[in-house]
Chain A
Amino acid sequence: MDLSVVDPVALFVGLVAAATPLLFAAIGELVVEKSGVLNLGVEGMMIVGAICGFATAVKTGSPALGFVAGAAGGCVLSLIFGVMTQYLLSNQVATGLALTLFGLGISALIGQPFTGVKSPTMARLEIPVLSEIPLLGRLFFSYDIVIYLGIALVAAVWWFLKFTRRGLVLRAVGENHDAAHSLGYSVVAIRLAAIAFGGACAGLGGAYLSLARVPQWTEGMTAGAGWIALAIVVFSAWRPWRVLLGAWLFGGVTILQLNLQASGFLSWLQSLGIPAQAQYLSMTPYLITIAVLVVISADGSKARSNAPASLGRTFTGSG
Chain B
Amino acid sequence: MRLVNTFAAAALATGLASAAFAQDPTKVGFIYVGPVGDFGWTYEHDQGRLAVIEEFGDAVETTFVESVPEGADAERVLRQMAQSGHDLIFTTSFGYMNQTMNVAKQFPDVKFEHATGYQRADNVSTYSARFYEGRHVIGLIAGGMTESNIVGYIGSFPIPEVIRGINSAYLAAKSVNPDVQFKVVWSNTWFDPALEADAAKTLIEQGADVLMQHTDSTAPMTIAEEEGIIAFGQASDQSSFGPNAQMTAIMDDWAPYYVSRVQAVMDGTWESTDTWGGIDSGMVAFADFSDKIPADLAEQAKAAADAIAAGELHPFTGPINKQDGSPWLAEGETADDGTLLGMNFYVEGIEGVIPN
Contact = CB atoms under 8 A, between A and B. Distances in A.
A218 B202 contact: no
Contacts of A117: 240
A262 B193 contact: no
B198 A18 contact: yes
Contact of B198 (A116, A219, A255): A255
B2 A105 contact: yes
A278 B202 contact: no
Interface stretch (A141-149, A187-195, A207-215): A207-215
B70 interface: no
A221 B193 contact: yes
A264 to B, nearest CB: 5
B353 A213 contact: no
Interface string B183-204: 1111011011111011101110
Interface string B31-75: 000110111000000000000000000000000000100000000
A297 interface: no
A259 B37 CA distance: 29
A7 B195 contact: no
Contacts of B195: 223, 254
Contacts of A224: 192
Interface residues of A, number: 45
Contacts, number: 111
Contacts of B188: 278-279, 282
B162 to A, nearest CB: 14
A314 interface: no
B319 to A, nearest CB: 25
Nearest to A261: B185
B219 A218 contact: yes
A289 interface: no
B19 to A, nearest CB: 33
Contacts of B203: 262
Nearest to A209: B194
A264 B351 contact: yes
Nearest to A15: B198
Contact of A223 (B37, B39, B194, B201): B194
B351 A10 contact: no
A220 interface: yes
A254 B186 contact: no
Nearest to A21: B194
Interface string A13-25: 0100010010000
B197 A213 contact: yes
Nearest to A278: B186
A60 interface: no
Interface in A194-233: 209, 213-216, 218-225
B100 interface: no
B151 to A, nearest CB: 12
A18 B195 CA distance: 9
A279 B152 CA distance: 20
A40 B189 CA distance: 24
Contacts of B34: 220
Nearest to B2: A105
B250 to A, nearest CB: 18
A62 interface: no
Contact of A218 (B35, B185, B205, B206): B35
B197 to A, nearest CB: 5
Contacts of B218: 116, 216, 218
Given A7-B205, A218-B38, A271-B353, A223 B191 contact: yes
B325 interface: no
Contacts of A209: 193-194
Interface in A244-285: 254-255, 258-259, 261-264, 266-267, 270-271, 277-279, 282
A262 B206 contact: yes
A264 B353 CA distance: 8
B332 interface: no
A108 interface: yes
Contacts of A5: 206-207
B207 A254 contact: no
A219 B202 contact: no
Contact of B194 (A105, A213, A277): A213
7 contacts: A6-B206, A10-B205, A115-B39, A117-B240, A215-B222, A216-B219, A264-B183
Given A21-B194, A118-B240, A218-B219, 18 more contacts: A5-B206, A7-B205, A214-B194, A216-B218, A216-B222, A218-B35, A218-B217, A219-B38, A220-B35, A221-B217, A223-B189, A224-B192, A225-B194, A254-B198, A259-B202, A261-B184, A262-B206, A266-B355
Interface of A: 5-7, 10, 14, 18, 21, 105, 108, 111-112, 115-118, 121, 209, 213-216, 218-225, 254-255, 258-259, 261-264, 266-267, 270-271, 277-279, 282
